[in-house]
Structure formats: C-alpha cells, structure tokens
Structure 1
Amino acid sequence: MKRLLSAMLGVSLATSAVAQEKGTFEEYVAGLKEEARQQGISEQILTEAFKGVEYKPRAVTADRNQPEKKLTLDEYIPRAVPDWKVKQAKELHKKHYAELKRIGDEYGVQPRFIVALWGVESNFGRFTGNYRVIDALSTLAYEGRREAFFRKEALAALQILQQGHIAPDEMKGSWAGAMGQSQFMPSSFLNFAADGNGDGKKDIWDSEADVFASTANYLAQSGWDDKYTWGRQVKVPHGISPDLQGREAEKGKYLKEWSQLGVTRYDGRPLPQLDEDVKAWLIMPDDENGRVYLVYNNYNVLMKWNRSYYFALAVSHLADRIAMD
C-alpha cells in the first residue's frame, strides 16, 4: 500500500509540474484537437471522440512502473504459456482452421503463429483493455514522458475513427492505447490492419477474421517467410564465446557454421541439414547458463511486433505446442 501511495504521489507531483509547463489537460486537449483539424479530422468525429474525455492517472502510473523482479525464461514460459492456454489454442486453431488457412495462404503465414500471437496478446480476445483509447493516449501525451510518441498515436486513433472502422464510444484498449484482440497501437492499425471478412471495415475488436488477417498482414509486411519456422532451443559447448550471440546482421551464420562451432539441437542431435541453408542467430536471453536458442529471421519479425525476447519466445513456444499432436 505504501508503495502504491508513493507511486501515485510521484505521478501527482510530476503531473503538477507538467501542468505548470503546458497548462491544463483541457488546454492540451484543445491543442490536440486543433492539430487534428489541420489533418482533416471532421468536427463530428472530434466532438464524439473527445466527449467526456478524462485524464487517467492510472495510465500514467502503469507507464512509469515496471516490474521489479525479472523472471528467468524457465519461470516466464510456463506462466505466459500454461497448459490451459495451449489446450485452448489447439481448440481454436482447429475451430477456425478453414479461415486461418485461407488467410495464411493469402499472406504467407502459418496459421499456428497467427493463433499464438492472438493467445499471447489478448488471451484469444478476452483481455483487450477497457480504457477509452482517446482518454489513455491524450493522458500519456499530456504527461509528457513520451509526448511525441503518444501524441502521434492519438492523432492516428482519430484517423481510424475518421475512416469509420469503429465508433468512437467503442474504441477501447489498454492503458497504453493498444487496441483490440491483436493489441495494435493506432499507427500499427493504419499500417497493417486488414479486412479479413470483406465487409469494408477493419475491425480488430470484434471480427476474428479481421484479427487474423491483420496479424498475418503485419507479419508478411515485416518480412515473414512461411517456408521456415522461428528457430529452436539448442545446446552450446561449454566456454562458447558470448560475443557470438546477438541478433545483429553480422552475427548471423548458416546452420552448418553453427554445427562446426559445436552447437546441437537441445536433445544433442545435430542441427537440421536443409537443402537451402538459412542463417540463424544465437541468443541467450538470460545468460549462457539459461535457455539458449538459434533463431531464424521469422523470430526477428516477431521482435518487430514486440521488442521483448521473452514475448517472442512465448509466441514461438505456443506456436510449437499448437503444432504438436
């Protein structure tokens, strides 16, 4: 309780400083609306979007407070991908397979990765956030720690409303403004959202087909190649140089080169011999004593979605579990 009060007090003091510099929240919103007008947002959309707009202190608190304890992958993976989630993922993969296959073929993305992202991001659409997106983004822009980022996202959210994909009072998301079942930020929506059911809208809130198509489109445009998987957990020889690990382009090596360095599959078998050899990168998200992986470019694409090794490994792990009998 003390820590929470202290955090809330810190937010309150910081907000007071921001208010002195920028004026009131209402004045900031007025400036945001004026910028939106200049970008072609209609008065009707502005009126509806900002009706009853509120400053959300809890969004600021969430933005500033990061978890204090860092879990290891051995602790994190079972929490992020518990057996019950694997079971649901397999059931939903089977239930929606015809639609997933159609969309996967169109965009060149394996259906299991679409379902895995759906599951890790929003628990298959169950946890999408209940903040009004305009409230959250206006608050975080005004707060100022990442003003340019959140102001740009607020303006992007207004563009989505202008395009008619969702009604202003239905545009809900996380405290950070991540929206819908795929948890797209508004700028990602504008760049990657897709109409999966052909109704002329891109509805990542309530249309599973649009969620699947939007996810697949994001991956496809970011460099996904469905001829390959994401990578694999491996074993490395004792004393392997830590300088070999990392996702920098120059650190990628062909599988035969990793084999020559003594890297094997996790069970000790040799790495796969592919007709068309591919580059892989060695990563040790914890350290050389934790889990070690060789990852392909598809893993790098998952890192574009969320710049967290742990997130990308959770998605990859769930996709592999879906593929298992």
Structure 2
Amino acid sequence: MKKLISMALVAAAVVLTPVQVQAQDEAGFADYVEQIKRQALADGYSQATLDKAFAEAKFYQRSVSADKNQPEFKLTLDTYLPRAVPEWKAKQALEKYNEHKQLLEQVGKEYGVQPRFIVALWGIETNFGSYTGGFDVVSALTTMAYEGRREEFFKKQLWQALTIIEEGHIDVEQMQGSWAGAMGQTQFMPSSFMAYAVDYDGDGRKDIWNSMGDVFASAANYLKNAGWRDDVTWGRQVQIPADFDVSIAELKNKKTLAEWQALGVRRLDGSDLPQRSDIKAAVVMPDDEEGRVYLAYANYDALMRWNRSHYFVAAVGYLSDRIRFPR
C-alpha cells in the first residue's frame, strides 16, 4: 500500500500546470518557427520577407484553445437570425449601402453581383469592417500549423500569407485577422486572397484591409467565380404541404419551380411560385420541417461556397433582403 501511495505521489508531481504546458508549447514553437523559416527559404522566399514576417512571431494559446473548443449551441434559425442580424445592423447596412452606393453599383455591374449582397456579406463577416480580428496572421497560422491537427492545411495558408507579404500587398504589422488566419474586411483565408482578391483601386496592392474598392471587388469576384447570377435572388422562405417528402429536401436536389409548385411548395404567403422556366432550385431545411424552409437558388450555392453553413447563408440573405426592402 505504501508503495502504491508513493507511485501515485510521483505521478501527481509530474502533472504540468496550464502555465507550464504553455511554456513548454512556446519553447517548442520557437524551434518550429526556425524550421518553418528554413523550409520557406529553401522554397524560394527571400530572407527579407522571412525576417519581416517572423520578427514578432508569437505562440497564440488562444488560437489553439479556440480551435479545440469551438462552442456548440443548440439554436434554430428563429433564435439565430435576431442575433446575427439585429435591428441596428439592418439599419446600418442600409446606411453603408447608401454611403458607398456609387462604388458598389460600379463594382456590382462589372462583376455581375447585386450590391446589396456585397454589403450583407461585409456586415455579417466583420460588422462592416469594424472588427477584422486582432491576431497577427503569420503568428496565428504558424501556431495552428504547430498545433498539428491540420498542419498541412495551415502550412499551405502560411505559405500563401508569405507570398502576400512578399508581393507587398500589406505591411506585416497591418496583416491582422482572426485566430485562424482569416484576413481583412472580407475575412479571406490567404488561399482565397490569392485566388480572388482584386486591386480595384489600381495602387498595385490588393488591400482588403483598408481599400473599400478592393474590399467590395474582392467579395464580388469571389461570388462571380462561385457561379453567382445577378438575375435572381438568393432564395425565398416558402411553405410546404403536410405530406411533403422531406427526404428530397437537400441542396443537391434541383428542380424547376414548376416541379416544386406541383409538389405543393408555395410562397410564404401561400401564393404560387414565380413562373420562370430558367430557374432551378432546391428545398432546404436548416433545422427541420417544423422550422424555416427555403427555396434555394443558384446564389444560395454560391454563398455556401463562401461559408458552408446554412445559418450563415440565411443571415446574409436575410440582411440583403432588409437592404432591398427597408422597413
């Protein structure tokens, strides 16, 4: 018995406190940064870029904790939408739309994206640019790669971030974003930045942090490449009959509006669906048949490319509708 007690005391003695664990992580992180720098140098990045990018590199325990412990809430759209789009945000969205109307209409025409959706995305992602995240992007991405669960993904994002710095699009100290490395007023990951960011103001930099032209055009360019249509809306809330087969309610199951009409789908007020033969749509139920039901058009799919969350898409769509039909 004494031997067992002694072993238990020894085991307890080697349990690390949270502070000790973080110190251990930070020590390993410093070695990891040096390894990353050597690899990046071998891959062709300049020493000057690496010196700038990692000059203030830090280990973000908050990033690791946020990734491992993302909160799960039991919500429905009826409880989520008022949180995502409170009245003050709907009012501010219309104000921002009117403030930037000329630029938005110009961008919208060039990219084939209705301006209200650009503003709605801007509002949902970063509250119209007022909160873009306070994390150093290089440090956040390096931390997430070091954490190891998705090292390959975050190293790819880190390499893209280094390219952004090397091409001179943003100064390192201004390259701020979320704990996971999503950047600027559009919250692009570095790979999305490289694929879709636009130098709309022509200053030689794709600046989704500070240039409103670059912010709006980059968002529009993303949607355009995701298959956006400027002749239809995102979707509409509908009602379904009591005997509706809920198994066919999925985003990949497209039917014409006439086919959905024949299956008993109607507008929310009970009237017939639009009579357009050039539109196919899906019926989606973000919660279940007792919750909100939407007829999802092609632009719903495009928004799902941006963020694969039906709640996110519903919030963007709802805010865009509030801009189109202000109360």
Q: What is the TM-score with the length of structure 1 in the denominator? A: 0.92
Q: CA deviation at 1:34?
A: 2.2
Name which one, 1 or 2, has greater alpha-carbon Rg: 2
For 2:100 and 2:62, how far apart are their aligned partners in 1? 36
Verify the 8 A CA contact 1:49 1:158 in the aligned structure 2: yes
Residue identity in the other structure for 1:323 = R
For 1:133 and 1:176, how far apart are their aligned partners in 2? 8
Partner of 1:180: 184
Partner of 2:260: 258
Residue identity in the other structure for 1:50 = F
For 1:123 and 1:167, how far apart are their aligned partners in 2? 23
Query: Post-superposition, which runs of at least 4 consecutive aligned residues in structure 1 deviate over 2 A?
Result: 8-16
Q: Does 2:55 align with 1:51? A: yes
Partner of 2:298: 297
Verify the 8 A CA contact 2:22 2:61 in the aligned structure 1: no
Q: CA deviation at 1:128?
A: 0.3
Structure 1 vs Structure 2 CA RMSD: 1.9
Secondary structure of the residue that 1:184 maps to in structure 2? coil
Q: Does 2:153 align with 1:149? A: yes
Cα 1:155–1:301 change in 2 (3 A) is same
1:231 to 232, 235, 239: 235
Residue identity in the other structure for 1:255 = L
Task: Give the stretch that moved more between structures: 252-261 or 29-38.
Answer: 29-38
For 1:292 and 1:92, how far apart are their aligned partners in 2? 29
Partner of 1:321: 322
Secondary structure of the residue that 1:280 maps to in structure 2? strand
Verify the 8 A CA contact 1:11 1:57 in the aligned structure 2: no
Secondary structure of the residue that 1:281 maps to in structure 2? strand
Q: Does 2:118 align with 1:117? A: no
Q: CA deviation at 1:9?
A: 7.0
Where do 5+ consecutive residues of structure 1 fail to align?
1-7
Secondary structure of the residue that 2:278 maps to in structure 1? coil
For 1:195 and 1:280, how far apart are their aligned partners in 2? 34
Partner of 1:212: 216
Partner of 1:60: 64
Q: CA deviation at 1:15?
A: 9.7
Q: What is the TM-score with the length of structure 2 in the denominator? A: 0.91
Cα 1:81–1:37 change in 2 (3 A) is same
Task: Give the stretch that moved more between structures: 285-294 or 239-248.
Answer: 239-248
For 1:233 and 1:12, how far apart are their aligned partners in 2? 53
Q: CA deviation at 1:10?
A: 8.2
For 2:23 and 2:145, how far apart are their aligned partners in 1? 12
For 1:98 and 1:12, how far apart are their aligned partners in 2? 55
Verify the 8 A CA contact 1:130 1:174 in the aligned structure 2: yes
2:270 to 264, 268, 271: 268
1:87 to 87, 91, 95: 91
For 1:97 and 1:206, how far apart are their aligned partners in 2? 18
Residue identity in the other structure for 1:63 = D
Where do 5+ consecutive residues of structure 2 fail to align?
1-15
For 2:72 and 2:286, how far apart are their aligned partners in 1? 17
For 1:170 and 1:212, how far apart are their aligned partners in 2? 19
Secondary structure of the residue that 1:269 maps to in structure 2? coil
Q: CA deviation at 1:146?
A: 1.1
Q: CA deviation at 1:195?
A: 1.1
